[in-house]
Amino acid sequence: MHPVNTKVPSKSLGLVLFYVPPHVILEPGHHPTEETYSIVEGEATMIFERSRQNLKKGDCVYLPP
């Protein structure tokens, strides 16, 4: 479910589930929607404009639009 999909009533909330293999680095990005990331398994590091946050299983991160 994502606001870009015209069949979904959401205007600013996206829901996406994806798997990131170990040691993979994702390119930085920016989205006009709110986003919430939940770490289901393993660990991750999220890098923001002015900080970085180490995450582990059970952690959640909210990103405003």
* Cα distances (Å, whole numbers) of residue 17 to 31, 39, 51: 16, 11, 24
Q: What is the pLDDT of residues 14-44, one digit of tens each?
A: 667 788 898 998 888 777 777 788 899 999 9
Q: What's the rounded Cα separation, in Å, for the pair 44 and 56?
A: 6
Predicted pLDDT at 52: 92
How many Å from the N-terminal Cα to the C-terminal Cα in the chain? 17
The label of the residue with tokens 């996406």 reads: 16
Predicted pLDDT at 10: 67
Specify which residues 45 forms β-bridges with: 54
Q: What's the rounded Cα separation, in Å, for the pair 23 and 3?
A: 30
Domain ranges, ordered by start, for the chain: 1-65
pTM to 2 decimals? 0.68
